Amino acid sequence: MKRILIAPLGTGAYQDSSKPRYEREYKTVKYSLEGKIYETPFVSEALMKHYKVDKIILIGTMGSMWDTLYQYYAEQKQEFNEDVYFELCDRVDSSNHTTPLTMDWQQSIKKVMPVECDIILTPYGINEVELMQNFTTIFSIAETLEKDCSIILDITHGFRSQAMYNFLIASYISDLRPDVKIEHITYGMLELLKELKECPIVDLNVMMRLMKFIKGAYELKEYGNGFLLADLLNDELRTVTHSEVQKKLVNFTKTVNLGYMLQIKEVIEQIKGIEKSINQLEGFYKTMLPNVLGDFVKRFKKANREWQYQFEMAKWFEEQKRYGQAYIALGEAIVTYYCEKEGEDPTLKEARETAKNRMKNREYGVEIYNLSKNINTKRNNIAHAVLENGRNRSNVLSDWESLPRDIKTLERLLK
């Protein structure tokens, strides 16, 4: 698997900045990573050596230290050219935020790099236009990455905004490029250089796991989809407790998304029952899961009868814009309501058929009959994917717009 390092190149620091640029001596740093020390002017070199990188993508402005980068690697290869170096010094020294992004000098640097190299130039990002230009440029990196490669993202240098862009790249790759693996997100903590006499490189991959967990929590809260959270639990925790929570999350997700009305109440009770197990988990799982699941469970707190669970599910489906499932739940809730009102078991086919026949005969009133007929027409069209001419066909837009009204009307009639 090809390993690619994506790293910003900063403007650098020199021993004596009062001298002309070509006379300055660039500061080297002792970078420490997993017990090893790498003394180099560039954190990217430490990362390339440590992780045995096959390719590097350098991101910088016209004012980044391209001259020093060239000098450092050209001297290592014994290919140093003074004319190239002085031209780069002049370019870098004279550049500012208005300097055009020119590409003619890049080949000189690529030739001396120890691995395959791409150079990405960005403006400073001092206004919205430049920020959007940076966004487009940097995201093009994620889109053009080779399949089945692994990525190391470094955020040590560059503008503060660059670190944010790199995390956006990481999020993009994680969600939309499953064929690319984010191996490490690294940061050289130069803030500790004075104290430790070396710069530790830390792995911020925990941030990616947290981002994934937040996404999973959002999917569970908004859409009843607990698959991502269950997968994260499976990947990170190996305990009896996590296994119980994972299985119930998966069961909950399947039941809710299939719209199995009969099992809704049972699965919600299961979710209530894992509160103690959740409290035994560690880290952000313990912090966030109770809130996410608690919000869902609270809405069913007052649902004591089967029809109330079904009706509450219909409202929840409508809130999530899952109108097809909402109409199915509404149709079932009406029949269940009258079964329970008559003291019949709503799980028995005979009881449900009796309630439906009484409704057709207007025994429960004309208004509920008309509403039920309207809902069931839409429900049947959805459930049976109606294509035949001559059957009651619904208008998509009007059905979409009428669902909130149908819910309010039914809530009034079933009180």
Extents of the domains making up the chain: 2-203, 222-298, 306-413
Confidence (pLDDT) at 11: 81
Residues 35-75 have pLDDT tens digits of 999 999 999 999 999 999 999 999 999 989 999 999 999 99
Work out the pLDDT band at 208, boundaries 50, 70, 90.
Answer: confident
pTM: 0.78
Alpha helices in 113-200 (DSSP H): 128-144, 160-176, 193-196
Q: Do 378 and 391 contact (CB within 8 A), yes or no?
A: no
Q: What is the DSSP letter of 238?
A: -
Q: Can you tell me whether residue 306 is helix, strand or coil?
A: helix
Better-scored residue on pLDDT, 384 or 295: 295
* Residues contacting residue 134 through CB under 8 Å, at least 6 positions apart: 122, 123, 125, 161, 165
Task: Spell out where 61-196 has E strands.
Answer: 116-121, 149-154, 180-188
Residue type for position 141: I
Q: Can you tell me whether residue 239 is helix, strand or coil?
A: coil
Confidence (pLDDT) at 396: 66
Please check the confidence at residue 303 and state whether its pLDDT lies above 70. Answer: yes
Which fold does the domain 2-203 belong to in CATH?
Rossmann fold (3.40.50)
Work out the pLDDT band at 390, boundaries 50, 70, 90.
Answer: very low
**Closest Cα to residue 92, out of 71, 62, 68, 122?**
62
* Ranges 202-206, 394-398, 399-403: which has the least confidence: 394-398
Q: Mind giving me the DSSP string for 357-389?
A: HHHHTTTT-HHHHHHHHHHHHHHHHHHTT---T
* Ranges 374-378, 396-400, 406-410: which has the least confidence: 396-400
Phi, psi of 269, rounded to the nearest 5 degrees = -65, -35
